[in-house]
Amino acid sequence: MWLFDFVMNLLFLGVYCICPDGWLQYSGSCYMFGHGAVHFTEAEQFCRQHHNSHLIHVENMAENAFIKDRLREFKEKAWWIGLTDELAEGMWQWYDTQEIANFTDWNPTEPNNNGPGQGQEDCATFWDIFDFKWADLPCTSKFSPVCEKK
Ligand SMILES: [Ca+2]
Ligand SMILES: [Ca+2]
Ligand SMILES: [Ca+2]
Q: What is the pLDDT of residues 58-106, one digit of tens each?
A: 999 999 999 999 999 999 999 999 999 999 999 999 999 999 999 999 9
Ligand at minimal distance from the CA of 88 is 2
Ligand at minimal distance from the CA of 57 is 1
- With beta carbons less than 8 A apart as the criterion, state whether 57 and 82 touch: yes
Alpha carbon distance 53, 47 (integer Å): 5
Kindly calculate the radius of gyration of the chain based on its CA atoms and give it in whole angstroms: 17
What integer is the mean pLDDT of 21-25?
95
Q: Which of 3-12, 23-32, 103-112 has the lowest mean pLDDT?
A: 3-12
pLDDT band (50, 70, 90) for residue 114: confident
Of 66 and 9, the one with more pLDDT: 66
How far is the centre of ligand 1, averaged over its atoms, from the C-alpha of 117 (Å)? 32
Strands 93-94, 123-127: pairing is: unpaired
Q: From its phi and psi, is residue 8 left (phi > 0), alpha (psi between -120 and 50) or beta?
A: alpha
pLDDT band (50, 70, 90) for residue 12: low
pLDDT band (50, 70, 90) for residue 18: confident
Ligand at minimal distance from the CA of 137 is 3
How far is the centre of ligand 1, averaged over its atoms, from the C-alpha of 4 (Å)? 35
Helix residue ranges per DSSP H, the chain: 2-16, 40-49, 61-71
Flag whether pLDDT at 8 surpasses 90: no
- With beta carbons less than 8 A apart as the criterion, state whether 52 and 58 touch: no
Helix residue ranges per DSSP H, 35-150: 40-49, 61-71
